[in-house]
A and B are shown apart, each in its own frame.
Chain A
Amino acid sequence: MSYRRNFLLSIAATVFTGILITSVGCGGGSSAKSNSIVTSGGNVAQISVNGGPNGNYANGVFVSVTVCAPSTSTCQTIPNVLVDTGSSGLRILSSVMTISLPQQTGSSGPVVECLPFISGYTWGPVQTADVQIGGEKASAVPIQTINETAFPVPTACSNQGPAMDSVQTLGTNGILGIGLAGPDCFACSPNSGLGNPNLYYACPTSGCQPITQTLTNQVQNPVALFPTDNNGVIVELPSLSSPAPSLIGSLVFGIGTQSNNALHGATVYTVDQFGNFTTSYNGKSYSGSFIDSGSNGYFFLNSALTGIPDCGGSSNSFYCPASSDNLTAMNQGASGGSGTVNFSVTNADSMFNSNNFAFPNLAGPVGTSADYFDWGLPFFFGRNVYVAIDGQSTPGGSGPFWAY
């Protein structure tokens, strides 16, 4: 994601954050306090951490999304859509869809997208839908319908990793990207001033060719297109002390737009052009750190830097300490906001051996060159995390920012 920001805004945010910190200081520490979770209101949708549609997803947080053919009552409610603060845009597997949606067509033919995630890519046509989540509805939203066969997958797309094109391979029915960006690829727009990373394609019968795509036509965060409560979201999940089969929480739309979505004393953490901030740990600073409900653990550093052994074997993606490690880090916004994070790492294998799907303290390494923290889903347990969308104004300043 790329953010169009100017220095004045950054300065304003910095000054504002300064004021905010002062007022938080009067309120006392908040780390040990349990968070309150809003359960009623037209701007609230229930979310659930559970095993997902395959019944085997570890630390996935899901929501139901209703999509309709634009301006019609032809609708379908799709359960088990992953709530992802690490991406922007709604992506639904065509294999779970029973209604058909209109295809977006540009001057060169039908528009199709390849979106690279870390775990693999999603490929499929850009279609238009009215999108309803909880009591909020956005009209004529460009979404991605994940489909490997409707249009041939370009090699440049399939080279990105495994296809995430089925309930089996995606692990969910879709992904609801409610991250910091509105449109999903600023550099793809014709006037970005950057080279086109070629995520969008026109696919006439003669074959698919990369195109630029205007921000308006891009797959985008549906929240930004709600008529109200459109400046961001709050992800609210209760604290969790030991693994559990499920965990219920709320996705609240809007920041400071209703009586149930005030910032309260949350600290605002500003981000750089990539949506990242700095995490300090053990005396070293790691820029390029971020918060991501779509990552299923805390992912940070590596065994050499943390002294925590990884699990080895097929789960070498996770840490397996002999006993739980209690750690402390500090998050610092790109231009303002800082606070301490206390967190624990528990042996992943011992947790996976239980019949549970919500895991506190699940963590893993990011690799030998990787010097940053990915604050994944366990970070959300017991915290209300605010996600302010790029360019939107809130009582905490202009997005993009995180607050908690």
Chain B
Amino acid sequence: MKKNCLVTGVLTVFALISLPAFAVLGGSEASVQTDQIQLKASLRSTQAQTYTVHELRAATGLVVREYAAGGTVFGVAWEGAWPPDMQQLLGSYFDQYMQERKQQARNGPPGRRPVHVELPGLVVNIAGHPGWFRGQAFVPSMLPSGVAAKDIR
């Protein structure tokens, strides 16, 4: 028991030191472990033919799936009653994502509907309603061959 506490403590300290960004999308596959700590989530990893899926289940019921190949996370998908922190999820892609969201809010036809962000280097889709959110984000150029957008779910 004591040993477990110590290990957890060390991991937490490690996370705090090594983690200004807590990058997910486009980041190192190793960041999955720090995401697990941040989300206080359980982790289950499964191997597909050309990639690995790391499924994180948080106590809130939020499920985040991180898709990785060659040590890099190329896509994330999530579902749950409430959305994850998009900055934590999108890492270095967050700024261009928010810029596009704000531009769409300014220029798009008014009314409430699902979100589609399609930039040359980033795709994000979000839909649902308060109490049920679902989304996916991926970097098109990072998709391993044979993997389609619909596989990130």
- Of all chain A residues, the one with the shortest Cβ separation from B125 is A367
Say yes or no: is B107 at the interface (Cβ < 8 Å to chain A).
yes
Which residue of A155, A156, A187, A292 is within 8 Å of B129 (Cβ)? A292
Residue of B at shortest CB range from A274? Answer: B132
Q: Mark A265-300, 1 if CB is under 8 A from B, else 0.
A: 000000000111000000000001010101111010
With both chains docked as a complex, state the minimum distance between the C-beta of B120 and any C-beta of chain A, in angstroms.
Answer: 15
What 0/1 readout, one digit per residue, does chain B (89-114) give for beta carbons within 8 Å of chain A?
00000100010011001011111111
Q: How would residues 333 to 374 of chain A score, 1 for a CB under 8 Å from any chain B CB and 0 otherwise?
A: 000000000000000000010000000000011111111101
Residue from B61, B113, B131 in contact with A295 in the complex, judged by beta carbons closer than 8 Å: B113
Whether the Cβ atoms of B136 and A368 lie closer than 8 Å is yes
Within 8 A of B (CB), among A33-62: 52, 54, 56-60
Q: Which A residue sits closest to B126, measured CB to CB?
A: A118
Find out whether the CB atom of B109 lies under 8 angstroms from the CB atom of A295: no
Are the CB atoms of B110 and A304 closer together than 8 Å? Answer: no
A1 interface residue (CB < 8 Å to B): yes
- B73 interface residue, CB < 8 Å from A? no
Q: Is A116 an interface residue (CB 8 A)?
A: yes
Tell me the bound Cα distance from A218 to B40 in angstroms: 25
Cα–Cα distance between A69 and B99 once the two chains are bound (Å): 39
* Cross-chain contact of B127 among A195, A197, A374 (Cβ < 8 A): A374
Is B52 an interface position by the 8 A CB rule? no
Within 8 A of B (CB), among A70-111: 86-88
- Do the beta carbons of B114 and A299 come within 8 Å of each other? yes
Q: Which residues of B contact A162 (CB under 8 A)?
A: 101-102, 105
Contact with A along B50-72 (1 / 0, CB 8 A): 00000000111110000000000
Of B113, B133, B153, which contacts A299 at CB under 8 A?
B113
Q: Which residues, 35 to 58 on B, are CB-close (under 8 Å) to A?
A: 40, 58
B105 close to A60 (CB less than 8 A): no
**Would B113 and A119 count as touching, CB distance under 8 A?**
yes
Are B82's CB and A187's CB within 8 A?
yes
Q: Is the CB of B94 within 8 A of A118?
A: no
> Is A171 close to B, CB under 8 A?
yes
Q: Size of chain B's interface in residues, with CB distance under 8 A?
A: 49
Picked from A199, A295, A304, A317, the residue with its CB within 8 Å of the CB of B108 is A317
Residue among A162, A169, A179 having the largest count of chain B Cβ atoms under 10 Å: A162
Known: A199-B82, A369-B152. A57 touches B111 (CB 8 A): yes
Contact A317 B110 (CB under 8 A): no
Cβ-defined contact, B82 with A316, below 8 A: no
User: Are A195 and B149 interface neighbours, CB within 8 A?
Assistant: no
| Interface check B146, CB cutoff 8 A | no
Residue of A nearest to B77 (CB): A369
Cβ B133 vs Cβ A316 within 8 A:
no
The answer to whether A314 touches B109 (Cβ under 8 A) is yes
Contact with A along B78-94 (1 / 0, CB 8 A): 01011101111000001
From known contacts A299-B113, A369-B152, infer whether A160 and B123 are also in contact, taking CB-CB under 8 Å: no
Q: How many angstroms from the CA of A177 to the CA of B129 in the assembled complex?
A: 11
Across the interface, name the chain B residue whose C-beta is closest to A297.
B113
Give chain A nearest CB distance to B29 CB in angstroms: 20
A161 and B132 contact, CB distance less than 8 A: no
Q: Do A296 and B82 contact each other (CB < 8 Å), given the known contacts A116-B133, A118-B126, A155-B87?
A: no
In the complex formed, the residue of A with least CB distance to B88 is A159
B153 surroundings in chain A (CB, below 8 A): 369, 371
CB neighbours (8 Å) of B108 from chain A are 314-315, 317
Contact of A117 among B110, B112, B134 (CB under 8 A): B112
Contact of A290 with B113 at beta-carbon distance under 8 Å, contacts A367-B127, A369-B153 already known: no
The answer to whether A160 and B107 touch (CB under 8 A), given A117-B130, A181-B131, A299-B127, is no
Q: Mark B131-148, 1 if CB is under 8 A from A, else 0.
A: 111111000000000001
Minimal beta-carbon separation of B134 from chain A (angstroms)? 7
Instruction: List A contacts of B128 (CB < 8 A).
Output: 118, 288
Question: Within the assembled complex, what's the spacing in Å between the Cα atoms of A68 and B72?
Answer: 55
Assess the B114–A367 pair: CB atoms within 8 A. Answer: yes
Q: Does A228 contact B (CB under 8 A)?
A: no
**B: which residues have CB within 8 A of A?**
40, 58-62, 77, 79, 81-83, 85-88, 94, 98, 101-102, 105, 107-116, 118, 123, 125-136, 148-150, 152-153
Some 29 contacts from A to B, beta carbons below 8 A apart, are A1-B130, A52-B110, A115-B130, A118-B115, A118-B126, A120-B105, A161-B98, A162-B105, A179-B130, A187-B81, A187-B82, A275-B131, A288-B132, A288-B134, A290-B132, A294-B129, A299-B114, A315-B108, A317-B113, A317-B114, A317-B116, A366-B114, A366-B127, A367-B116, A368-B123, A372-B127, A374-B114, A374-B129, A376-B113
Give 12 new A-B contacts, CB below 8 A, not counting A2-B131, A57-B110, A365-B114.
A2-B81, A58-B109, A58-B111, A118-B115, A159-B98, A274-B131, A294-B129, A296-B112, A316-B118, A352-B109, A367-B135, A369-B152
Closest 6 CB pairs of A and B: A367-B125, A195-B59, A1-B131, A296-B111, A368-B149, A195-B60
